[in-house]
Amino acid sequence: MDLNEIAMNLVPFPRLHYLVPSLTPLYTLADVSVPSRRLDQMFSDAFSKEHQLIRADPKHSLYLACALMVRGNVQVSDLRRNIERLKPSLPFVSWNQEGWKTGLCAVPPVGHSHSLLALANNTCVKSTFMELRERFTKLYRKKVTLLCCRSHLS
């Protein structure tokens, strides 16, 4: 799969294109000695906010679509079993209940037997963007206040 194919499958409408990535296990290249996780636990971790690579909580938002890319010795049956296990706990939009894209790579990551990258098109990014807008607005207003004070002093 290439990134264009992934995005095409995860983005139903051009304006809904913010993908939330999560990775499990989480480790740095300097510290690959993180203990291996059971495969089922990795799937659960991929949908928790602790493993998101953006500060957002996807559990309280709607999923539009999701891509799962698994590396290592993982069978398609394991992948399907975990998707079926997680489906009831993940709130998907009503018009795309089967919005899953999967990819398997037999080459495991360095130091681990398997890993999972999840790319979710989730509405949880709205709160992140709203927070960013509020912070920008506060900074912008401070700048305007400073400029007004300078012009009165001149």
pLDDT (tens digit, 9 = 90+) per residue, 23-79? 887 554 445 555 556 888 888 888 887 777 777 777 778 887 888 888 888 888 888
Residue 87: which H helix or E strand, with range? none
Q: Specify the pLDDT at position 45.
A: 84
Q: In the structure encoding, which two tokens stand for residue 133, read together?
A: 């807008």
Omega cis (within 30) before 88: no
96-133 pLDDT, tens per residue?
777 788 888 888 877 778 888 888 888 777 777 788 88
3-class secondary structure, 8: helix
Query: How far is Cα 122 from Cα 64, in angstroms, rounded to an integer?
Result: 6
pTM of this structure: 0.70
- Burial status of residue 120 (CB atoms within 10 A of its CB: 0-12, 13-18, 19 or more): buried
